Amino acid sequence: MKEKDLRRSLSVLPIGTVMKLTSLTARQIRYYEEQGLVSPERNEGNRRMYSLNDIDLILEIKDYISDGMNISKIKNVYEQRKQEAFNSGSRNKLSDQEARRLLSDELLNVGGLNSKDVKGNNSF
């Protein structure tokens, strides 16, 4: 059952495809990478190659940004969740899935305290 997971993680999509699938501009997509939100591979021509997982992640990032959240905050949460998942769960079978799951969880939380305060929970 991990074969699909593997395929899902294969970076074979050029940025052009990602643009169409996410409705984002190349600029934005590259910018997210710059902020450490996505980590596309690079082919021999230095071209960015994205995986389906990347698409998924970018799609979510796009959503959160649409909800009016700062890149830095998303970045922060994502890296934080990623490391926690790495330390507590399986330290080898990374958490592309887990990370994304945790990411959305945290992000919803953080998103709520965006225009309010930090004492309570998410204002959902």
Partner DNA sequence: ATTCTCACA
Partner DNA sequence: TGTGAGCA
Of the pair 50, 85, the CB lying nearest DNA is at 50
Binding window for DNA (CB under 7 A); candidates: 41-49, 81-89, 92-100, 107-115: 41-49
Contact 48, 33 (CB under 8 A): yes
- Chain residues 58-97 in contact with DNA, contact rule CB under 7 A: 65, 71
Binding flag, residue 120, DNA (CB under 7 A) = no
| Helix runs in the chain, H state only | 3-9, 15-22, 26-34, 52-66, 71-88, 96-112
Of the pair 17, 90, the CB lying nearest DNA is at 17
> Minimum distance between the CB of residue 57 and DNA, rounded to whole angstroms?
15
> Minimum distance between the CB of residue 10 and DNA, rounded to whole angstroms?
17
Cα–Cα distance, 50 to 17 (Å, whole number): 9
| Paired tokens of 74 | 């998303």
